[in-house]
Amino acid sequence: RGLASRCACPRLRTASRRQGAHSPQGPAPAAPPPGPFGFESPAGCVRKWQPLSPAWRARPPVPGARFKSSVPVGSGNAPALPGSCWRPSGATRNSWGWWPRELLPYLEGGRWGQGLEGFCNHLELYTQFAANVERSRTILQEQIKKNKHFRRFVRLQEGRPEFGGLQLQDLLPLPLQRLQQYENLAVALAENTGPNSPEHKQLTRAAQLISETAQRVHTIGQKQKNEQHLQRVQALLSGRQAKGLISGRWFLRQGWLLVVPPRGEPRPRMFFLFSDALLMAKPRPPLHLLQSGTFACRALYPMAECQLHRVFGHSGGPCGGLLSLSFPHEKLLLMSTDQEELSHWYHSLTLAISSQKN
C-alpha cells in the first residue's frame, strides 16, 4: 500500500486506501526466504507478481497525456501482458488474473488438487502468449518509438519501485518463466501425494496437462530461436545461389574451419551446419563495394550421404585435429588448431548425420 500511495496514479491510491480499510491486521509481514519452487508461498508469489498488474491497467498518470494503440484489443498481435489492455486472442482480464484471485484461496486452504485443476482451464493462454511474444515485443518497440504519449507513460511506469529497475519489455518472458514454476510445483505435489489421497487423481492430471503445455511452449520458443538464426545466416549470405537456400532448415552450428586440399595450403572457409546439410561459404573481399562482410556459397553437402571420421585429434592435445567427411562424389578434410572447437564440430556433425539416417 505504501508503494501504491506514492504512485502517480489516483486510481491506485484509491484502491490502496480501500484495501487498507478492510485489512485490520495492518501491513503484511516480511516475506520468508524463497522456497524450492522459486517463490516463498502462494501469497509470496502473488506479492511478487501482482503489484505489476495495476501498471498495465492504469490510465496515463499525467493530466492531458493520451495514447491509443494502433492494434485492436484481442487481435493476437499485441503484447500479451497478463492483466493488461493488450491480451492474446480469447483472453479476458479475469482469465489472466485467475492465479492471484482464484487459485490463491485454494492453495492457502490446502485444496491443491482442486485449485490446480481449475488453473488448467487457462493453460491455452500460455501457448498463445508464447506464439505471440516476439510479435508483442516488436509492436511494443514500435509504439514506444512512434507514440510519444505512450513512450512517456511507459517511462513513468518503469520508474515505479515495483519494476525493480527493469524495462517493460523485460517483463514479457515472466509469464513463461512462471509456467515452468507451475510445472515444478504440480509434478512435485503429484509425486509426493499417495494414491489413496482424494487429490491424487486431480494432481496427477494437472501435472500432466501443465507439463504438456510447458513442452509446447518450449517447442514454440525453439522454433522462434531457429527462425532468428536462419534470418541472421541468410543476411550473411549473398549472391543468387543463396536465395532461399536455408529456408525451412534447422540451424545447428557455424564457424571457421580449414579446408585441406590435395595440394597446397589449407584455406579458411566459413561453415554453416543445419540438421540436413552442411554449407561451405567463402568470404567476400573486404573492399567489395556492395557485399563486403558477407559470404558466397561454394557448396551444399547433404548430411544423409555423409560418412564422418576423425583422422587425428582423439587424444585432446594442443595440436588440434582433422575430420574426414566423405560424400558420394567428394571428400572433405576439415582441420582446426583448436581441439575443443573441433570436438564440438564432431559432436554436431554426428548428431546431424544420425538424425537424417534415423
Report pLDDT digits (tens) over 103-125. Answer: 778 878 888 888 888 889 889 99
- Which pLDDT value is given to residue 187? 93
pLDDT band at 319 (very low <50, low <70, confident <90, very high): low
130 vs 292, more confident:
130
Counting every residue written for the chain, the total comes to 358
98 or 276, greater pLDDT:
276
Q: Give dist(CA 271, CA 255) in Å, integer.
A: 6
CA 110 to chain centroid, in Å, comes to 32
The three-point CA angle 214-219-225 to 5° equals 125
Q: Which CATH architecture has domain 239-357?
A: Roll (2.30)
| pLDDT score for 61 | 37
Residue 38 reports pLDDT greater than 50: no
pLDDT band at 243 (very low <50, low <70, confident <90, very high): confident
For the chain, what are the domain ranges? 1-28, 31-234, 239-357
pLDDT reading at 202 higher than 80: yes
Write down the pLDDT at residue 126. Answer: 92
State the Cα–Cα distance between residues 59 and 158, nearest whole angstrom.
14
Q: Tell me the average pLDDT across 228-257.
A: 85
DSSP string computed for 233-285: HHHHEESGGGTTSSTT--EEEEEEEEE--SSS--EEEEEEEESSEEEEEEEPP
Beta bridge partners of 323: 310, 334
For residue range 159-200, list pLDDT tens digits in order.
988 888 888 888 888 888 889 998 998 999 999 989 999 899
Cα 56–Cα 36–Cα 127 angle in degrees, nearest 5: 45
Section 68-83 average pLDDT:
36
Q: Is the pLDDT of residue 315 over 90?
A: no
In the prediction, which pLDDT does 320 show?
75
**CA-CA distance, 184 to 207, in Å (whole number)?**
9
Helix (H, G, I), strand (E, B) or coil at 29: coil
pLDDT of residue 284: 87
- Which CATH code fits 31-234? 1.20.900
The predicted structure's pLDDT at residue 288: 67
> Of the ranges 49-63, 191-205, 238-252, 317-331, which one carries the lowest mean pLDDT score?
49-63
Nearest to 204 by CA among 222, 191, 215: 191
Note the pLDDT of residue 333: 94
Higher pLDDT, 165 or 213: 213
Listed range (47-51, 245-249, 272-276, 352-356) with the worst mean pLDDT: 47-51
User: Which residues 6+ apart lie within 8 Å of 296 measured at CB?
Assistant: 237, 238, 239, 241, 242, 281, 282, 283, 284
The answer to which of 36-50, 61-75, 215-229 has the lowest mean pLDDT is 61-75
Q: What is the pLDDT of residue 289?
A: 66
pLDDT of residue 37: 38
Name, in order, each residue with C-beta under 8 angstroms of 242's C-beta and a sequence gap of 6 or more: 234, 296, 297
Is the Cβ–Cβ distance between 185 and 198 less than 8 Å?
no
